[in-house]
Structure 1
């Protein structure tokens, strides 16, 4: 698996995930994002880096549709249009919380190198995805 930078789309697993989204039927894309996030949230044991990288990319796609979110990477993000993913906001937030909770291989890998930028990127996504109280804008 290759990682070339600390952004949510800067690794092979995320690029492959976005390719899978492009190849999926338009009506299946939201389900693919949902299942990727759900799988990570429901992983009680050791979380594999590949699954975590996919979940970070999926969360970034959700965040891209939320107020304050950055657009998906124009090179490694999906090329095909995505449906409204904002209903997955809380699930995406929970998936990022799981990615950054032990036992998580991705968290370990970033701890072994200079992971400050990666952690800052994940925290930025979490800020955008943080569930809002009812009635908040």
Structure 2
């Protein structure tokens, strides 16, 4: 079937990744997620694990402020560990790499509107994963001293 929706787990490869996460020992789940993200972020040429990286990033985003639960039956059934903060940055880098690829993944949809919805989902995930920027409201000097 391949791709059937625009969500991060709405394709065969990502749903297989969810099954692999469920089959992995709890302490190995972070390792699998980190690997898919790192290989995608550092990839040159064809992105062989982009669909897994999108799914991994979505799982991390659920634990971030502003993150939302993933509403599909294809997510892992077993609980994910609490992910370390550094995975947010790695996930954002992987998604940026996918978007910079002028995404070959966007070609998975026959309808251009579906491809745009998928790209909007990826952009939203990037926004959730991006670390909060430093406030510029903090004065550099205390003039009252």
1:1-137 → structure 2 map (5 Å cutoff): 2-48=2-48, 51-87=49-85, 88-102=87-101, 104-109=103-108, 113-114=112-113, 115-133=115-133
TM-score (norm 2): 0.83
In the TM superposition, structure 1's runs of 4+ consecutive aligned residues that sit over 4 Å from their partners are none
Distance 2:99 2:106 in 1: 6
Largest Rg, 1 or 2: 2
Give the CA deviation at 1:112. 7.1
TM-score (norm 1): 0.87
RMSD, aligned CA = 2.1
Q: How many residue pairs get matched?
A: 134
Worse overlay, 10-19 or 104-113: 104-113
